[in-house]
Chain A
Amino acid sequence: MHPLLKDHILPLRRYALALTGDADQSDDLVQETLARAIEGAGSWDPRRDLRKWLFGIMHNTHASGRRRRSLEKSVAGEIAAMSSDSAPASQFTSVHFSETIASLMRLPDDQREVMVLIAVEAFSYKDAAEMLNLPIGTVMSRLARAREALRAEQGRVEQGRPDESSHRPDLRLVR
């Protein structure tokens, strides 16, 4: 693997998997992302974060593909396919991890992509907002809803949050 890209392939695969919920489709998405990146390499400024640039391309590639395939099967159907016998044996070998991913896949697309970019890939709120072309507040509210949904999935009904939660001082973001 080319040294410039070797550290980015696995994260791209993770994101592609979370976006598509399917090993084969995710492989296609990574391929298409690289193809688009090759075409657009002339626009990449070496001073810019390569990982962020690649993730942005993947997001756009997936978004345009999603529009194309608007009549395709729902995420629920994909999950069913993932857990069915017809799914490639290489996928999700750990039962526990399968459940974790299944919970993630049950999130709406917009929450899932934010969750993966920030919680899994550790992008800053600001970078994620730029990549998704969204206001930072929207990104954060989607993330909060995603977390809440995942907590609910695990039967951990939210309770006992402090009264202060209604009073929100500014965040001291460091990234």
Chain B
Amino acid sequence: MPEPTIQEPVSELDLMAYVDDQLDPERRIAVEDHLSRHPVLAAQIMDDLRQRDELRLALSEAASTISDHRLELPAQRLGRRLSLRIALHRNRRAIAASILVGAGWLAHSMFGGVGADPASAAHILPVYADEAVEAYRNVLVEARYDAVPWGRGEQERIAAPAADAGATIPLPHLPAAFAPVASHPVSAGGSNAVQMLIHGPDDELLTLFAVETDSFSIEPPHAEAVRDVNVAYWQSGWFAYVLSGTGDQKELLSLASRLSR
């Protein structure tokens, strides 16, 4: 093994990167050590640093004299759109979490000993409640701005972006009173999943999460309230469904029953 070099010589590029604050601490110290032994060079570097600071100040001063008046409106519009992008990004993560609420609850109620009683779902829901509610609210915000950037909904089968490209999730047949607005494939813990945005019979906004499970079962819908958002779960074969909305819990259960037939 060759002996490690004690110190590589300081180069012009090092000096430039020093001025631009782009060196790691170790190299920075080496450059400073070098400069301490070369006062002429140190003075030049100081000049470069001063020049950099003067440029920042000069441009800032000149730029700040220009009124932002003309920018207010476009900046507001852009800010709103970017906020929605952020909300959507969070929403996608929250959707995955809220699907787990449904899938977890189903698995728990079907296979878990103490979880056989649907009431025990209340112990599971609060774990994801915030994200589930946030997901639904984000959808509402996006819908309000007509900014849901998903593909148009397909009522029957929508391909999900899973490792198995051939995998699809059967979505319930929507009665005529339900109008699909958009659909968005998501990945939930390695499972195929789809979120659909639906206008209900009274034009209320609903989200339907559909997720592939690893257990076959037929379970009728059950409803739970998570603060101001109601959710209804059911399972049909290998697939679990979670319907969310702000309407009356009984009504949501009734809608879920219509969808689950």
Whether a CB of chain A sits under 8 angstroms from the CB of B57 is yes
| Contact between A5 and B10, CB atoms less than 8 A apart | no
Q: Which of A18, A41, A154, A156 contacts B78 (CB 8 A)?
A: A41
| Chain A interface residue count, Cβ-Cβ cutoff 8 angstroms | 70
Q: Within 8 Å of chain A (Cβ to Cβ): is B82?
A: yes
Contact B14 A171 (CB under 8 A): yes
Among B11, B52, B71, contact of A169 (Cβ-Cβ < 8 Å): B11
A interface, by DSSP: helix, strand, loop or mixed?
A: helix
When distances are taken between beta carbons in the complex, the residues of chain A under 8 Å from B52 are 119-120
The interface on chain B, measured as residues whose beta carbon lies within 8 A of the other chain's beta carbons, has a size of 59
- Complex interface bits, B83-107 against A, C-beta within 8 A gives 1, otherwise 0: 1111001000000000000000000
Whether B55 sits at the interface, judged by CB under 8 Å, is: yes
Q: What is the CB-to-nearest-CB distance from A96 to chain B, in angstroms, rounded to a whole number?
A: 8
State which of B13, B23, B75 has its C-beta within 8 Å of the C-beta of A5. Answer: B75
Give B58-77 interface residues, CB cut-off 8 Å to A.
58-66, 68, 70-72, 74-77
Main secondary structure of the interface of B (DSSP, over half): helix
Q: A78 interface residue, CB < 8 Å from B?
A: no
Contact A174 B79 (CB under 8 A): no
Q: Name which residue of chain A comes closest to B30, CB basis.
A: A172
* B12 on interface, CB distance cutoff 8 Å: yes
What is the distance, in angstroms, from B34's C-beta to the closest C-beta of chain A?
Answer: 8
Interface residues of B (CB under 8 A from A): 8-14, 16-17, 19-27, 34, 38, 40-41, 44, 47-48, 51-52, 54-66, 68, 70-72, 74-86, 89, 149
Beyond A104-B55, A147-B51, 6 additional contacts (C-beta under 8 Å) are A2-B80, A4-B82, A9-B71, A10-B60, A17-B66, A91-B65
